[in-house]
């Protein structure tokens, strides 16, 4: 199998032969790989420690747990370029030594993880599967294999970002690589900016006293494009990188919110978060290729997704908020907008119809009514709503009952995802 695999743009390929360069030979490579495995285990599992060889390491390169009880053991073997029949005896001996040391020193091994920077060949894979099952049954433990595929997957996780950078990115190139081009920052077209006016993140900023909102819309718009592109492509490493960035930014907001709330300085929350985002921006995953505008926009997305806000009562605002295109719908038969949050649907001003009858009609299965009966309010005015700008193709809608945060059932309209024929 090749020593490196394709990785997302902006991330250096992981080559385990780098340990030979770092270590200056086979012995150094073995020690360097062992150090990487210990740091990777610590990055992905709480409470991982190492055992210094004095005189022996008890068959443990790294472990998690209590040496007076049950532990998980990581055992590294620098087998390159492939793991073959010649290595089987070393694997057997490693487990045997670990189990003997456990018996001699009053602890038990609940899980034993073999870490190798290569793949097993066919005969060795068959041997491993049989040997693993037999030893698990014999010693009542779990045996795992972190081969080159599993190691790369773990190294590309957000938790292991520092380990990957420290061991592989600094040695993965012999000449400076070109600077990765950052994403373009696009202008927001007038119709899209207008549609964003009903967004929750704008409502939260308005509640906090912000009057000029054009830059916020641009930040949100560009960050939302990034998020949708990553979701559409579905590359696991990019999805994980975006999740990592969201978690980091959410943490910054949460820390500042708690401090501002305690100090009664909530009016400075937005500026303090923006300052922290500016300082943290260069530390976000490079594979995302974000400009600072995108990073600020990701915070707006957190607000729009009801995870943050700019005033103390932001949760109440989020719970009560419904975007303009969601709480109303155009009824093509009646030629009027139905206000779904009102008991009388807004028909009390003279419509000679019963609101209860209209509600019953709205909740009919789509197959039992005209599929073009209900239309998005903005579409009925010749405009495009946020749902359509986000890729929803149909202006036609259906109504369902939705249980809100307070437990009450309310009517909500939603777009068909595509034109119904």
Per-residue pLDDT of 22-66, as tens digits, reads 777 777 888 889 999 999 998 888 888 887 765 655 778 889 888
Q: What values do phi and psi take at 396, rounded to 5?
A: -85, 155
- pLDDT of 180 reads 59
Average of per-residue pLDDT values in the chain:
83
Kindly tell me if the per-residue pLDDT of 5 is higher than 70.
no
Distance CA 276, CA 391 (A): 33
Q: Which pLDDT score is estimated for 175?
A: 40
* Contact between 168 and 18 (Cβ < 8 Å): yes
pLDDT band of residue 333 (cuts 50, 70, 90) is: confident
Q: Which band of pLDDT confidence, cut at 50, 70 and 90, is reported for residue 90?
A: very high
Q: Would you state the pLDDT for residue 192?
A: 81
Put simply, whether the predicted model's pTM sits higher than 0.75 gets the answer: no
Least confident of 41-55, 236-250, 354-368: 41-55
d(CA 337, CA 381): 11
**What is the pLDDT, as a whole number, of residue 295?**
95
Can you give the pLDDT at residue 325? 42
Q: Region 207-213: what's the mean pLDDT?
A: 92
pLDDT-wise least confident of 18-32, 64-78, 327-341, 372-386: 372-386
Q: What pLDDT, on a 0 to 100 scale, did the predictor assign at position 173?
A: 46
Residue 313 has pLDDT above 80, yes or no: yes
pLDDT: which is higher, 384 or 334: 334
> What are the backbone dihedrals phi and psi of residue 6, each rounded to the nearest 5 degrees, phi first?
-65, 135
Q: Provide, rounded to the nearest whole percent, the portion of the chain with pLDDT above 70.
A: 85
- Comparing 45-59, 310-324, 354-368, 405-419, the range with the smallest average pLDDT is 405-419
Query: Is the pLDDT reported for residue 332 higher than 90?
Result: no
Residue 389 confidence class, pLDDT cut points 50, 70, 90:
low
Buried b (16+ CB within 10 A) or exposed e, 334-365: eebbbbbeeeebbbeeebeeebeebbebbeee
Residue 2 pLDDT more than 90? no
Question: Quick count: other Cβ atoms within 10 Å of Cβ 31?
Answer: 14
Res 137: pLDDT: 93
Predicted local distance difference test score (pLDDT) of residue 148: 93
């Amino acid at each position: 199998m090749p020593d490196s695999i394709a990785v997302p743009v902006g991330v250096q390929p992981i080559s385990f032969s780098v340990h030979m360069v770092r270590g200056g030979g086979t012995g150094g490579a073995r020690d360097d790989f062992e150090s990487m495995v210990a740091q990777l285990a610590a990055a992905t599992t709480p409470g991982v420690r190492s055992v210094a060889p004095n005189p022996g390491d008890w068959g443990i390169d790294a472990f998690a747990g209590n040496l007076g009880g049950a532990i998980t053991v990581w055992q590294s073997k620098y087998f390159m370029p492939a793991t073959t029949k010649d290595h089987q005896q070393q694997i057997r001996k490693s487990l045997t030594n670990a189990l003997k040391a456990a018996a001699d020193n009053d602890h038990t091994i609940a899980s034993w993880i073999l870490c190798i920077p290569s793949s097993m060949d066919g005969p060795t894979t068959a041997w491993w599967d049989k040997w693993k099952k037999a030893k698990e049954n014999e010693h009542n433990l779990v045996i795992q294999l972190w081969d080159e595929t599993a190691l790369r997957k773990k190294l590309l996780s957000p938790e292991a970002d520092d380990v990957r950078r420290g061991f592989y990115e600094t040695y993965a190139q012999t000449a400076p690589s070109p600077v990765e081009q950052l994403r373009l920052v696009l202008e927001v077209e007038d119709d899209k900016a207008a549609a964003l006016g009903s967004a929750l993140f704008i409502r939260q900023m308005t509640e906090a006293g912000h009057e000029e909102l054009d830059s916020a819309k641009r930040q949100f718009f560009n960050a939302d494009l990034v998020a949708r592109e990553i979701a559409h492509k579905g590359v696991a490493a990019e999805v994980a990188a975006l999740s990592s960035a969201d978690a980091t930014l959410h943490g910054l907001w949460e820390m500042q919110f708690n401090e501002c709330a305690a100090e009664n300085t909530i009016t400075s929350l937005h500026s303090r978060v923006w300052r922290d985002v500016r300082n943290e921006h260069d530390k976000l995953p490079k594979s995302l290729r974000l400009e600072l505008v995108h990073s600020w926009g990701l915070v707006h997305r957190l607000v729009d997704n009801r995870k943050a806000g700019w005033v103390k009562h932001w949760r109440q605002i989020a719970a009560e908020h419904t975007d303009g295109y969601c709480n109303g719908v155009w009824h093509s038969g009646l030629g009027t907008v139905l206000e779904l949050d009102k008991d009388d649907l807004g028909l009390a001003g003279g419509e000679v119809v019963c609101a209860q009858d209209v509600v019953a009609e709205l909740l009919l299965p789509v197959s039992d009514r005209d599929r073009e009966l209900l239309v998005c309010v903005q579409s009925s005015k010749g405009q495009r709503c946020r749902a359509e700008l986000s890729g929803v193709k149909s202006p036609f809608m259906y109504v369902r009952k939705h249980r809100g945060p307070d437990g009450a059932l309310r009517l909500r309209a939603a777009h068909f995802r595509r034109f119904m024929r």
